[in-house]
């Protein structure tokens, strides 16, 4: 039984910072670039939205006159952490309480452009937006000097290349949050996943499904190194080997995978990579075994690629986790959808999410709608088929942490297979549109 192949194209070049030279520049450049790019898009949409209204700047507002303004949102948050709070916490005997979400009823939005800034009121809910989003607003200036919002225009889902017709089943496996080295990591659980992907587990039907897997994407947080090794003190010689143990174990397991099929390795917030986005690929010297195979690809975070002209884009989860801290939504999928509608993968960068201080570009702008948009290291598995006004179709996927759930996701186009790897059974859930079929397999292959 032969494994199927797919034509692969890595599109991570836009996230590389090798050609960038840091000269002490501040973050105003990336905000200016973002505003310039998004304003051009929004100006092109205004004639079909409110053709009878003039577009003006913040400085050109006139009291009581209806108009449209375009700018970058700034969210004033009462509970937002500051460096002064961190400093006072270090000097205080009683640590400050750090909430998981910094929302407060007194939060309000401000819109700014090159000419000035104005406080927003009216029909724009602060809970739904974050600092860094560029939008167009219809409204009027009040006597108090605020801008009373009547309607909102977002850039919307970007154009999408036509989804190619797929005449055969091919799958991509997504897994994240392995956390090798943590107390939660179960080696047997991960080995079951490896054995299934490589075709060493299950009956002929299971092996046939495994042969359709054309690629595995590891979406960050693959290792866990104890925080006690990062307290600023010199690491004892006996502990140096302990730091490397999780990476060595990961390399051993990845070597089994890359010997059978291609693997994309993305860094995450807990991995030995740079902290700021875009995270650069992990160094090859960390993977003495897997790096010897040409099927092993070290990728950036965010990661963008194509398989048989199906476009994928995804992150290891930092962008969505940060949105959760500073805004509100019914679930994580709504945050993922918002980033597409705002046409920006990480709108809170660099305000509350670390990123490189680019001077002439913003690599997180979404110029073409992907067919699959995945986010790693989430609390639970969620998926949605999002449809845009121009017949765009994109599959949104929240990939749960494997160490907590034992879940990996297989996907291509709009087909899904969800693996729940447990000690005694393997559950497969197929999703295609609204149709669902569940099969329960025992480890001896009997269904």
Beta bridge pairs of residue 365 = 344
In this structure, are 120 and 209 located in the same domain? no
pLDDT at 284: 95
- 39 in a domain, yes or no? no
Closest CA to 153 of 29, 229, 50, 273: 50
Same domain, 139 and 272: no
Number of structural domains in the chain: 2
How many other CB atoms are found less than 10 A from the CB of residue 122? 15
Q: How far apart are CA 358 and CA 277, in angstroms?
A: 11
The length of the chain, given as a count of residues: 447
Collapse the DSSP code of 444 into the 3-class scheme (helix H, G, I; strand E, B; otherwise coil) and give the result: coil
Domain boundaries, position 278: 8-20+160-440
Cα angle: 323, vertex 329, 333; to 5 degrees: 80
- Give the domain CATH number at 133: 2.40.50.430
First to last CA, the chain: 21
Domain boundary among 110, 125, 153: 153
- Picking from 217, 180, 380, 404, the residue whose alpha carbon sits closest to that of residue 302 is 217
Residues 284 and 344 both lie in one domain: yes
Give the three-state DSSP class for 70.
strand
320 and 370 in a single domain? The answer is: yes
Burial of 162 (0-12, 13-18, 19+ CB in 10 A): exposed
Residue 264 located in a structural domain = yes
Cis peptide before 92 (omega within 30 of 0): no
Place of tokens 């700047």: 57
Alpha carbons 161 and 303: distance in angstroms, whole number: 18
Q: What is the pLDDT of residue 425?
A: 24
pLDDT tens-digit series, residues 111-158 = 999 999 999 999 999 999 999 999 999 999 999 999 999 999 999 999
Does residue 402 share a domain with residue 284?
yes
- Are 264 and 305 contacting, i.e. CB atoms less than 8 angstroms apart? yes
Domain co-membership, 339 together with 419: yes
pLDDT score of 92: 52
Indicate whether 276 belongs to any domain.
Answer: yes
Phi, psi of 99 (to 5 degrees): -75, 160
C-beta separation of 383 from 375 below 8 A: no
Kind and range of the H or E run holding 25: none
Please name which of 364, 366, 382 lies closest in space to residue 374, comparing C-alpha atoms: 382
Cβ neighbors of 342 (< 8 A, separation 6 or more) are: 133, 134, 135, 154, 155
* Residue 287, domain CATH: 3.60.21.50
**Do the domain assignments include residue 16?**
yes
260 in the same domain as 120: no
The answer to whether residues 116 and 195 belong to one domain is: no
- Does residue 286 sit in the same domain as residue 407? yes
Does 30 reside within a domain? Answer: no
User: Given 153, 176, 193, which residue is the final one in a domain?
Assistant: 153
How many CB atoms lie under 10 A from the CB of residue 191? Answer: 15
Q: Which of 153, 181, 196 is the last residue of a domain?
A: 153
Tell me how crowded residue 11 is: count the other CB atoms within 10 A of its CB: 16
Give, for all 447 residues of the chain, the pLDDT tens digit. 799 999 999 999 999 987 777 777 789 999 999 999 999 999 999 999 999 999 999 999 999 999 999 999 999 998 888 766 666 655 554 445 556 789 999 999 999 999 999 999 999 999 999 999 999 999 999 999 999 999 999 999 999 998 877 778 888 899 999 999 999 998 988 998 899 899 988 888 889 888 989 999 999 999 998 777 666 667 777 777 788 899 999 999 999 999 999 999 999 999 999 999 999 999 999 999 999 999 999 999 999 999 998 899 999 999 999 999 999 999 999 999 999 999 999 999 999 999 999 988 999 999 999 999 999 999 999 988 899 999 999 999 999 999 998 888 887 543 444 443 322 223 333 232 222 223 322 222 233
What's the gap between Cα 89 and its chain centre? 31
Q: Note whether 197 and 260 are same-domain residues.
A: yes
Residues 364 and 14: beta-carbon distance below 8 Å: no
What pLDDT shows up at residue 270?
Answer: 93
Please give the distance of CA 438 from its chain centroid, rounded to a whole number: 28
Q: What is the dihedral of CA 205, 433, 317, 38, to 10 degrees?
A: 140
What are the structure tokens assigned to 47, written together? 């004639």
- What is the H or E stretch that residue 196 is in? helix 187-197
Is 29 a domain residue? no
Phi-psi region of 39 (alpha: psi -120 to 50; beta: other; left: phi over 0): alpha
Give the phi and the psi of residue 408 in degrees, each rounded to 5. -125, 160
Q: Does residue 273 lie in a domain region?
A: yes
Sole residue written with tokens 């999410």 = 353
- Determine if the peptide bond prior to 278 is cis (ω within 30°): yes
C-alpha to C-alpha distance for 291 and 274, rounded to whole angstroms? 20
Same-domain status, 184 and 145: no
Residue 2 lies in a domain: no
Say if residue 206 is in the same domain as residue 265. yes
Nearest residue to 308 (alpha-carbon basis) of 170, 120, 155: 170
């Amino acid at each position: 039984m032969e494994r199927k192949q797919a034509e692969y194209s890595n599109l991570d070049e836009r996230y590389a910072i090798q050609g960038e030279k840091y000269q002490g520049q501040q973050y105003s450049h990336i905000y200016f670039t973002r505003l310039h790019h998004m304003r051009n898009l929004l100006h092109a949409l205004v004639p079909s939205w409110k053709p009878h209204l003039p577009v003006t700047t913040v400085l050109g507002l006139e009291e009581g006159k209806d108009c449209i303004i375009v700018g970058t949102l700034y969210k004033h948050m009462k509970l937002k952490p500051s460096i002064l709070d961190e400093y006072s916490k270090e000097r205080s005997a009683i640590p400050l309480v750090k909430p998981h979400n910094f929302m407060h009823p007194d939060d309000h939005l401000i819109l700014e452009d090159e000419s000035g800034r104005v406080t927003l009121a009216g029909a724009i809910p602060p809970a739904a937006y974050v600092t860094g989003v560029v939008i167009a607003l219809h409204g009027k200036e009040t006597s108090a000097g605020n801008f009373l919002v009547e309607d909102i225009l977002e850039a919307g889902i970007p154009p999408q290349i036509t989804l190619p017709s797929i005449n055969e089943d091919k799958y991509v496996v997504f897994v994240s949050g392995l956390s090798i080295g943590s107390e939660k990591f179960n080696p047997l659980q991960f080995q079951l996943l490896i054995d299934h992907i490589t075709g060493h587990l299950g009956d002929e039907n299971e092996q046939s499904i495994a042969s359709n897997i054309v690629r595995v994407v590891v979406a960050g947080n693959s290792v866990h190194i104890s925080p006690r090794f990062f307290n600023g003190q010199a690491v004892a010689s006996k502990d140096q080997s302990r730091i490397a143990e999780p990476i060595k174990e990961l390399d051993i397991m990845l070597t089994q995978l890359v010997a059978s099929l291609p693997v994309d390795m993305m860094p995450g917030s807990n991995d030995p990579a740079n902290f700021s986005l875009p995270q650069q690929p992990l160094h090859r010297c960390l993977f003495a075994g897997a790096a010897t195979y040409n099927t092993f690809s070290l990728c950036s975070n965010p990661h963008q690629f194509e398989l048989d002209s199906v476009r994928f884009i995804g992150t290891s989860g930092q962008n969505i986790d940060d949105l959760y801290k500073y805004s509100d939504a019914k679930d994580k999928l709504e945050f993922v959808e918002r980033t597409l509608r705002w046409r920006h993968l990480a709108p809170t960068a660099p305000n509350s999410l670390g990123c490189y201080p680019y001077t002439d570009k913003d690599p997180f702008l979404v110029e073409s709608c992907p067919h699959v948009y995945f986010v790693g290291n989430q609390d639970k598995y969620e998926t949605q088929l999002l449809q845009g006004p121009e017949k765009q179709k994109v599959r949104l996927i929240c990939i749960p942490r494997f160490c907590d759930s034992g879940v990996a996701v297989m996907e291509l186009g709009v087909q899904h297979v969800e693996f729940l790897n447990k000690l005694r059974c393997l559950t497969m859930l197929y999703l295609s549109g609204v149709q669902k079929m569940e099969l329960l397999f025992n480890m001896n292959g009997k269904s």
